[in-house]
Structure 1
């Protein structure tokens, strides 16, 4: 198997970087050096010969409670044999979650295999094109913070609502997929307040997502699940919390958007 072309090396370098960022946002341990690796360092790491199969890596959460493989198959179309080989490796190493980064997609039989083993193994599939840029840092994507089970219960108790009453976010939503969210998980969504916000503050919010200063945000919540069927008469409750400059200050209940809070919570995402 020959090394990738210069163009392909540039592509997989960016894709792998996004994978590292995505796993850190899910609470896995990822070194800064891995996310900040330059293209030259990336090539040197593989002694000048970069192959997709060699890009595979394994990451763990701080308490080793959860591990995840990231596979980079070389085949254009991924068949059932490749998926089964990955499952065998995962089973041998007691790893129950994996991300498969494909160039085009899965064959119908591979998709059927993925669905068949879903009860025991969680195998997510992303196309390389989806990972060339990190959707989380897109200007039009608001901040999403997955809640822990404890935080979810506190939210439902606070507003005396049931899960079925929360507005939905589909499991296929790009941000839900980015965080690997599963049915029943709740995500907090932070949006900047436009009214009364200076143009400079708006610019700061849009352009500095990686290092946000304190920003005033509206907070809403969504639960991961399918769309409600038309025959189900369940009243949905939209929970909106107005932002505040400081949570500890008096006045309206709200939240401060800033990067420290995001990083501190990353390890809590389950």
Structure 2
């Protein structure tokens, strides 16, 4: 089914947020992709675009073998939720092309059976609703800068402050900022806030 004008506007905004998210996670995204205007979006995908035409495959800037799919699956006919059928197609493609990470962008929630089916060893599927991606949460004025530490950087911080990672303040993996960066249990995030006295104030959070 082709998208309406309102759906095209929403898909444009969702796609823009997704490209920014991928860039923030270290995947290779061009400036043209991130700065695409709505008119350019329509010209590129066509006025009769469908959700699945927005599919993406990206690789990490520093490791081209580390790849991620972005799927925009359609619900099954006459249904609003995403069931096993559309989900299975995504999983089969991941397995056949040996891509172990994927983001699924959906209009409506997955059925309970489909949610259970996403729990596959060695595959990571993240689910985002369109409504969660209409705006980039990291661009909000009240959200400070976040930097995900490498393992080496994490080790250096723990040694500097003589603490174990579990002793750091916590951030839930379900937090909207954690989801934007694709954080998982064990990651440590550096948070930089402006400070009138020191110029900037730095804290760290351990993802649980």
Q: TM-score range by the shorter chain?
A: over 0.9
Q: Secondary structure at the match of 1:10?
A: helix
Instruction: Report what 1:134 is aligned to.
Output: 136
- What is the Cα deviation at residue 56 of structure 1? 0.7
Instruction: Report what 1:47 is aligned to.
Output: 46
- 1:109 corresponds to 2:113: yes
Q: Secondary structure at the match of 1:48?
A: coil
Which whole-Å CA distance do the structure 2 matches of 1:47 and 1:173 have between them? 35
- 1:220 corresponds to 2:176: no
Which whole-Å CA distance do the structure 2 matches of 1:47 and 1:11 have between them? 15
Instruction: Report what 1:147 is aligned to.
Output: 149
Which whole-Å CA distance do the structure 2 matches of 1:106 and 1:194 have between them? 46
Superposition CA RMSD, Å? 1.2
Q: Secondary structure at the match of 2:174?
A: coil
- What is the Cα deviation at residue 40 of structure 1? 1.3
- What is the Cα deviation at residue 195 of structure 1? 4.9
- 1:77 corresponds to 2:90: no
Which whole-Å CA distance do the structure 1 matches of 2:141 and 2:43 have between them? 33
- What is the Cα deviation at residue 114 of structure 1? 1.2
Q: Secondary structure at the match of 1:144?
A: strand
What stretches of structure 1 of length at least 5 have no aligned partner? 197-215, 226-270
TM-score, reference length from structure 2: 0.94
Instruction: Name the structure where strand makes up a greater proportion of residues.
Output: 2
Which whole-Å CA distance do the structure 1 matches of 2:83 and 2:205 have between them? 35
Spell out, residue by residue over 1:221-270, the C-alpha distance to the aligned partner (whole angstroms, 9 max, x if none). 00000xxxxxxxxxxxxxxxxxxxxxxxxxxxxxxxxxxxxxxxxxxxxx
Q: Report the CA distance shift for 1:65/1:150 in structure 2 as closer, same or farther (over 3 A).
A: farther
- What is the Cα deviation at residue 83 of structure 1? 1.6
What stretches of structure 2 of length at least 5 have no aligned partner? none
Instruction: Report what 1:36 is aligned to.
Output: 35
Say which one has the larger Rg.
1
TM-score, reference length from structure 1: 0.73
Which whole-Å CA distance do the structure 2 matches of 1:149 and 1:14 have between them? 33
